[in-house]
Amino acid sequence: MSDTTARFDQAAIEADPALPIIRITRDFAATPEQLFRAHTDPDVFVRWMGPNDLTTRIDHWDARDGGSWRFINSRGDEEYAFHGCFHEVSPLRIVQTFTFEGWPDGVSLETLRFEDLGDGRTRLHAQSLVDSMEARDQWLASGMEVGVNEGYAQLDALLMAGEE
């Protein structure tokens, strides 16, 4: 994957052809500190996570090395829960597990890295490692790109309004 594919309006979402990995790259008009906070502060996280038609609520959130988290997305009577453990939480990198409770055996290991581009811009590099190529393809076919792009558009709006 080329870093030149990162843009402000859409995330580049790519599957590694040889490994069960999904890579997401996206640029933000924000500092690394702002993006770190958006991913670790539950009050900010719930305001941008997921597709526009879902509401997010936090069940628990402990953003520290060894901490854990769980959130629920809802739309009417539908609920989609996700949980994981934070393995590393540092200003330039977050490593965590991620499980959609609808696919409880599908645990991914996620690494988020915040690359300072200067001038108040940051490139987010996210990588999700799953246990098989089939699992990777299920994630890609799930419509995840809608949630990723709509969520990051909501984050852009919060950042531009200075509400992160």
- How does pLDDT run across 147-162, given as a tens digit for each residue? 899 999 999 999 988 8
Give the bridge partners for 17, in sequence order.
none
Asked whether residue 6 carries a pLDDT value surpassing 90, the answer given is no
107-123 burial by CB neighbour count: b if 16+ within 10 A, else e?
Answer: bbbbbbbbbebeeeebb
Confidence bin at 144 (pLDDT 50/70/90)? confident
Q: Do residues 164 and 50 touch, judged by C-beta distance below 8 A?
A: no
Q: Where are the beta strands (DSSP E) in 8-142?
A: 12-15, 21-28, 55-61, 68-75, 78-90, 93-100, 108-118, 121-129
How do strand 68-75 and strand 78-90 relate by DSSP bridges?
antiparallel
Tell me which of 142 and 130 has the higher pLDDT. 130
Determine contact, residues 106/138, Cβ cutoff 8 Å: yes
CB of 36 closer than 8 Å to CB of 114: yes
Q: Is 0.85 topped by the overall pTM?
A: yes
Closest CA to 157 of 5, 12, 8: 8
Average pLDDT (40-47) is: 97
Fold observed for domain 3-143: Alpha-D-Glucose-1,6-Bisphosphate; Chain A, domain 4 (3.30.530)
pLDDT one-digit tens code per residue, 28-40: 999 999 999 999 9
CB 27 within 8 A of CB 18: no
Q: How confident is the model at residue 2 (pLDDT cuts 50, 70, 90)?
A: very low
Over residues 105-123, the mean pLDDT reads 95
Helix H or strand E segment including 157: helix 144-160
Please report the pLDDT score of residue 139 as a whole number. Answer: 86
User: Rounded CA gap, 164 and 157, in Å?
Assistant: 9
Question: For the purposes of burial, counting CB atoms within 10 Å of the CB of 28, is it exposed (0-12), middle (13-18) or buried (19 or more)?
Answer: buried
